[in-house]
């Protein structure tokens, strides 16, 4: 059975690789909440700090579907009150990690910046996520995934030849260049702390994370194997054997047979004229090759092509919708999707052989009261109840 079981069946005590670690997550948008979710599902005890009066003008989600709140203990605090920020610092004294995604200077103005936090807990790993980094001329500028992706140069490279750049959802800067770089930094800093006993600050910038993801493309350019014309290269839909094609039922297949022996198998099953097999990498042949592939692919439906290529190494796959992906036989066999409340979602990744992860559950009526959460972190129940009554801690 997949260790990332149904969230409703997950044990109360986590056994993931980060079991015993405490993370303070300052609530925000995008990549930091996903990092909090991942750390939680790896076993960390994540305490999410939300402001008492915060309204999001868009993307309002019920708790069942709001992954930003799954798997956490949630504390709503008045961070404009000195007792509210002092409470966060007292939590930091007990924590291993703090992650935040505010603009540079916000945490400092709240009295929660790295200097104050590390003074309370020198072993703290303090993870900071921004679009542009903690310094530089754009550090204080607002932006979103598409902004950071544009300034990394990566957005320019994505899209069909002769067409405008196409944003790949918000996956590249927000979640790959942001979340994954932040989590990587946190885990590396925890490993280093095991040697030194000292924490440190992680400055994760989404524009730099997105750039790092494109490091191999920069190397290809330096070697003369890539040019800056969009849709004219091996991996950007420029090659006819690395692209998507419309099928007879107006759906699509993805073709990715880069290696000659995979391309030969693809050509045999399509079938494709033999002259293209010997000239796979002859760019003069690519327009004719593309036209013939497109014409052949339109002769059958997507699922007919999927059946033809299913047991082969031709590197052809049906382009599935998000809903279809949950039902694909391989994903079903791997239990790659799980249920968290009413939400069908991807299972936690990666998987661990000795310390399994568990899909985080949404908050519900069984969620611990603020006084219980604070007591668990060393704050007396009587004091916690007084903080609730005063309005510094929200119910």
Please indicate, yes or no, whether residues 324 and 355 belong to a single structural domain of this protein: no
Residue 373 within a domain: yes
Of the listed ranges 29-33, 297-301, 334-338, the least confidently predicted one is 29-33
Please indicate, yes or no, whether residues 326 and 350 belong to a single structural domain of this protein: no
Please indicate, yes or no, whether residues 252 and 135 belong to a single structural domain of this protein: no
Average pLDDT over residues 24-30: 92
Please indicate, yes or no, whether residues 60 and 198 belong to a single structural domain of this protein: yes
- Say if residue 196's pLDDT is above 80: yes
Active site annotation includes 174: yes
Average pLDDT over residues 71-92: 93
Please indicate, yes or no, whether residues 74 and 92 belong to a single structural domain of this protein: yes
- Among 6, 144, 273, 328, the active-site one is 144
Average pLDDT over residues 146-152: 98
**If we measure between CA atoms, which residue out of 348, 367, 343, 371 comes closest to residue 358?**
348
- Among 174, 236, 243, 252, the active-site one is 174
Residue 233 within a domain: no
Pick the last residue of a domain from 333, 350, 385: 333
Q: CB within 8 A of 379, min separation 6: which ones? A: 87, 90
Q: Could you give the percent of the chain with pLDDT greater than 70?
A: 94
Q: Residue 350 and residue 119: Cα distance in Å, rounded?
A: 34
Residue 128 within a domain: yes
Please indicate, yes or no, whether residues 354 and 320 belong to a single structural domain of this protein: no
For residue 146, what is the domain's CATH number? 3.40.50.10540
Please indicate, yes or no, whether residues 278 and 349 belong to a single structural domain of this protein: no
- Say if residue 208's pLDDT is above 90: yes
Active site annotation includes 144: yes
Band (101; pLDDT cuts 50, 70, 90) = very high
Per-residue pLDDT, 54: 65
Average pLDDT over residues 180-202: 98
Q: Residue 345 and residue 41: Cα distance in Å, rounded?
A: 13
Q: Token pair 């300052």 is at which residue? A: 26
Q: Residue 36 and residue 27: Cα distance in Å, rounded?
A: 9
Per-residue pLDDT, 59: 67
Domain count, the chain: 2
Residue 227 within a domain: no
Structure tokens at 268: 């045999």
For residue 251, what is the domain's CATH number? 3.30.1540.10
Q: How many helices (H) and strands (E) does the chain have?
A: 16, 12
pLDDT tens digits along 301-357: 999 999 999 999 999 999 999 999 999 999 999 999 999 888 999 999 999 999 999
Pick the last residue of a domain from 305, 333, 361: 333
Q: Residue 255 and residue 241: Cα distance in Å, rounded?
A: 6
Residue 225 within a domain: no
Please indicate, yes or no, whether residues 123 and 160 belong to a single structural domain of this protein: yes
Band (8; pLDDT cuts 50, 70, 90) = very low
Please indicate, yes or no, whether residues 107 and 251 belong to a single structural domain of this protein: no
Band (10; pLDDT cuts 50, 70, 90) = very low
Of the listed ranges 13-22, 121-130, 186-195, 196-205, the least confidently predicted one is 13-22
- Say if residue 13's pLDDT is above 80: no
Residue 2 within a domain: no
Q: Token pair 């568990």 is at which residue? A: 358
Pick the last residue of a domain from 333, 355, 381: 333
Please indicate, yes or no, whether residues 139 and 69 belong to a single structural domain of this protein: yes
What residue numbers bound the domain in which 309 lies? 242-333
């Amino acid at each position: 059975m997949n260790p990332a079981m149904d969230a409703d069946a997950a044990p109360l005590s986590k056994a993931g690789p980060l079991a015993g670690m405490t993370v303070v997550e300052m609530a925000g948008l995008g990549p930091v909440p996903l990092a909090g979710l991942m750390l939680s599902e790896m076993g960390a005890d994540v305490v999410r700090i939300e402001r008492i009066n915060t309204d999001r003008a868009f993307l309002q989600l019920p708790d069942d579907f709001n992954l930003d709140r799954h798997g956490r203990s949630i504390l709503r605090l008045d961070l404009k009150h000195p007792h509210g920020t002092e409470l966060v610092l007292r939590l930091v004294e007990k924590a291993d990690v703090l992650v935040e995604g505010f603009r540079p200077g916000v945490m400092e103005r709240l009295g929660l910046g790295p200097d104050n936090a590390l003074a309370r807990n020198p072993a703290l790993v303090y993870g900071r996520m921004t679009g542009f980094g903690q310094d530089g001329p754009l550090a204080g500028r607002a932006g979103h995934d598409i902004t950071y992706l544009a300034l990394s140069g990566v957005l320019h490279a994505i899209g069909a030849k002769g067409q405008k750049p196409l944003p790949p959802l918000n996956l590249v800067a927000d979640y790959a260049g942001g979340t994954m770089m932040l989590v990587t930094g946190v885990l590396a800093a925890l490993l280093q702390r095991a040697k030194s006993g000292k924490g440190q600050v992680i400055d994760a910038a989404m524009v730099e994370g997105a750039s790092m993801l494109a490091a191999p493309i920069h190397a290809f350019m330096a070697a003369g194997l890539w040019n800056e014309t969009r849709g004219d290269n091996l991996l950007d839909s420029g090659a006819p054997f690395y692209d998507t094609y419309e099928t007879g039922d107006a759906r699509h297949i993805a073709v990715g047979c880069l290696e000659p022996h995979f391309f030969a198998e693809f050509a045999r099953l399509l079938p494709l004229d033999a002259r293209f097999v010997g000239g796979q990498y002859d760019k003069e042949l690519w327009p004719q090759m593309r036209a013939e592939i497109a014409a052949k692919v339109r002769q059958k439906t997507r699922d007919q092509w999927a059946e033809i290529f299913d047991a082969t190494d031709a590197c052809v796959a049906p382009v599935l919708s998000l809903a279809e992906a949950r039902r694909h036989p391989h994903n079903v066999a791997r239990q790659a999707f799980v249920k968290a409340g009413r939400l069908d979602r991807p299972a936690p990744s990666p998987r661990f052989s000795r310390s399994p992860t568990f899909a985080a559950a949404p908050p519900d009526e069984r969620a611990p009261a603020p006084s219980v959460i604070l007591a668990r972190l060393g704050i007396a129940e009587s004091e916690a109840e007084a903080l609730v009554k005063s309005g510094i801690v929200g119910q």
